[in-house]
């Protein structure tokens, strides 16, 4: 991704630059992507609880509203310090955008030079459009409420008015493309991207000598000659709130992984799929097993060819199961799954898993459809594996075949 000396020099420049700085291209984006916002009557942009006498008049009011909408100044408020898009995902999406637009990734760091700012913000806008989801939008709205409360307590009228207006616009806007043109959101994407680049650089240095997970190395260990405590302190100074974000993410990942592991082990049972559906999945593997036996006789020793054939047949079976689950997961089915999760949340027997169930419910309500389908497939396979292990369904009475090796 470019020569190391270019990385270093560009990094210094990035630290000095304001993520919300303007460019000719950003002015163009105001017209293209912010057209709906700017064409909305002014009285519809201003919340009812704001005294109009406090606002500028005429053209000054337009300039005032544009500055609020398209400036990223709010990301410097303490309430937004630990609000980020996932830095790793942001970086990957950004790189995908560059590749799709035939940008040479070897010139990545050149893109951050001042003369390339217009092109950079085009890519940031496209990336923001891809990353936005209900969860991050709701989180931004909550933080705006927090800023507004502090501003009113401090009698900071200008800040309170600005926050009220931008909150009203974000809350009311459904279009991701329009939201992606808002300065606060673009600023958060840019900050997340820069952190993702820093993580990538640090990971590369760590992996020179050994594999390491960036989120499990915040304990000051000296690894490969790097003092991680010192490095994270430097990042925290550059991006206040980063350590809090990482700690929160680490805690969430631990809860999520623990819950999924409990499902796999049968320690937690959600029964999100019916016995009839589980039997259909098992029948797919029975059919795959029959096909394998026809290709590889029982008396034949295991060979590389047989193992290869096994994995080919297994892959086809799993794809059939995936297609079956995809057909099951629609809007009505998701509502039923959420209703069942709500019942578990109210059940004292599930208190131990309350945090995981809340995260699971949030996943089903806020993630993209393809993510939900993938998770549903994994959960279905978990219930199939448990049924194969327990052998407590009627289908096993007629078919005493051991399917454990299909796991």
Whether residue 109 is predicted with pLDDT greater than 90 in this model: the reply is: no
Strands (E), 117-259: 222-223, 226-227
Q: How many residues are given for the chain?
A: 407
Is residue 258 assigned to a domain?
no
Q: What is the pTM of this model?
A: 0.62
Is residue 312 assigned to a domain?
yes
Q: Residues 28-37: what's their mean pLDDT? A: 45
Can you state the angle between helices 117-131 and 183-206, rounded to 10 degrees? 90
At residue 226, the 3 state secondary structure works out as strand
Which domain-ending residue is among 178, 206, 234?
Answer: 206
Is residue 246 assigned to a domain?
no
Residues 50 and 190 in one domain: yes
Closest by alpha carbon to 234, among 206, 195, 208, 192?
195
Scanning the structure block, which residue is given the tokens 């915040």? 218
Residues 292 and 150 in one domain: no
Tokens read off for 366:
């806020």
Residues 46 and 145 in one domain: yes
Residues 62 and 142 in one domain: yes
Is residue 216 assigned to a domain?
no
Residues 126 and 138: beta-carbon distance below 8 Å? no
Long-range contacts of 43-48 (CB under 8 A, 24+ apart): 45/165, 45/168, 45/169, 46/165, 46/168, 47/164, 47/165, 47/167, 47/168
Residues 151 and 22 in one domain: yes
pLDDT of residue 128: 93
Residues 201 and 304 in one domain: no
pLDDT of residue 103: 83
CA-to-CA dists, residue 271 to 136, 169, 220, 356, 384, angstroms:
29, 41, 43, 16, 11
Backbone angles phi, psi at 42, to 5 degrees: -55, -40
Which domain-ending residue is among 162, 186, 206?
Answer: 206
Instruction: Name beta bridge partners: 227.
Output: 222
Is residue 347 assigned to a domain?
yes
Instruction: Name beta bridge partners: 223.
Output: 226
Range of the domain at 356: 266-406
Q: Residues 153-173: what's their mean pLDDT? A: 87
Residues 275 and 361 in one domain: yes
Alpha-carbon distance of 20 to 169, in angstroms, equals 18
Residues 61 and 138 in one domain: yes
Residues 193 and 272 in one domain: no
Residues 288 and 190 in one domain: no
Is residue 144 assigned to a domain?
yes
Residues 317 and 188 in one domain: no
Which domain-ending residue is among 206, 236, 258?
Answer: 206
Is residue 303 assigned to a domain?
yes
Per residue in 45-102, pLDDT tens?
677 666 666 676 666 777 777 788 888 889 989 999 989 998 888 998 899 899 888 8
Residues 131 and 150: beta-carbon distance below 8 Å? no
Is residue 118 assigned to a domain?
yes
Closest by alpha carbon to 83, among 124, 118, 131?
131
At residue 180, the 3 state secondary structure works out as coil
Per residue in 201-257, pLDDT tens?
887 777 665 555 544 444 444 455 567 778 888 888 888 888 888 888 878 888 888
Alpha-carbon distance of 317 to 405, in angstroms, equals 14
Closest by alpha carbon to 129, among 188, 184, 175, 98?
175
pLDDT of residue 89: 86
Per residue in 340-364, pLDDT tens?
998 998 888 888 888 888 889 888 8
Residues 136 and 284 in one domain: no
Number of domains composing the chain? 2
Q: Residues 105-121: what's their mean pLDDT? A: 83
Residues 393 and 285: beta-carbon distance below 8 Å? no
């Amino acid at each position: 991704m470019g020569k190391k000396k270019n990385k270093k020099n560009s990094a210094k420049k990035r630290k000095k630059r304001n993520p919300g700085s303007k460019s000719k291209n950003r002015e163009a984006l105001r017209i293209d992507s912010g057209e709906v916002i700017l064409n909305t009557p002014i009285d519809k942009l201003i919340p009812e609880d704001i005294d109009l006498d406090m606002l500028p008049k005429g053209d000054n009011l337009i300039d005032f509203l544009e500055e609020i909408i398209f400036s990223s100044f709010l990301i410097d408020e303490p309430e937004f310090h630990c609000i980020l898009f996932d830095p790793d995902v942001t970086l990957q999406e950004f790189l995908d955008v560059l590749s799709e637009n035939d940008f040479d990734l070897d010139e990545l760091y050149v893109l951050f030079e001042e003369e390339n700012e217009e092109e950079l913000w085009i890519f940031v806008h496209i990336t923001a459009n891809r990353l936005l989801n209900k969860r991050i939008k709701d989180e931004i709205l909550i933080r705006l409420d927090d800023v507004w409360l502090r501003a009113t307590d401090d009698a900071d009228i200008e800040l309170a008015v600005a926050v009220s207006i931008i909150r009203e616009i974000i809350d009311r806007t459904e279009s991701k493309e329009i939201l992606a043109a808002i300065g606060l959101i673009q600023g958060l994407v840019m900050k997340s991207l820069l952190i993702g680049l820093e993580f990538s650089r640090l990971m590369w240095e760590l992996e020179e000598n050994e594999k390491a997970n960036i989120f499990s190395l915040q304990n000051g260990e000296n690894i490969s000659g790097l003092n991680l405590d010192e490095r994270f302190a430097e990042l925290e100074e550059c991006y206040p709130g980063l350590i809090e974000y990482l700690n929160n993410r680490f805690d969430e990942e631990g809860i999520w992984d623990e819950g999924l592991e409990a499902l796999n082990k049968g320690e937690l049972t959600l029964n999100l799929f019916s016995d009839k559906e589980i039997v259909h999945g098992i029948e797919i593997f029975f059919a795959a097993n029959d096909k394998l036996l026809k290709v590889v006789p029982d008396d034949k020793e295991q060979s590389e060819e047989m193992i290869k054939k096994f994995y080919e047949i297994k892959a086809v079976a799993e794809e059939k199961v995936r297609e079956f689950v995809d057909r099951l997961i629609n809007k009505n089915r998701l509502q039923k799954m959420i209703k069942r999760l709500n019942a578990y949340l109210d059940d004292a027997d599930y208190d131990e898993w309350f945090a995981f169930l809340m995260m699971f419910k949030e996943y089903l309500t806020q993630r993209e459809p393809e993510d939900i389908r993938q998770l549903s497939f994994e959960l279905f396979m978990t219930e199939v594996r448990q049924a194969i292990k327990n052998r407590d369904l009627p289908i096993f009475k007629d078919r005493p075949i051991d399917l454990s090796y299909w796991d």
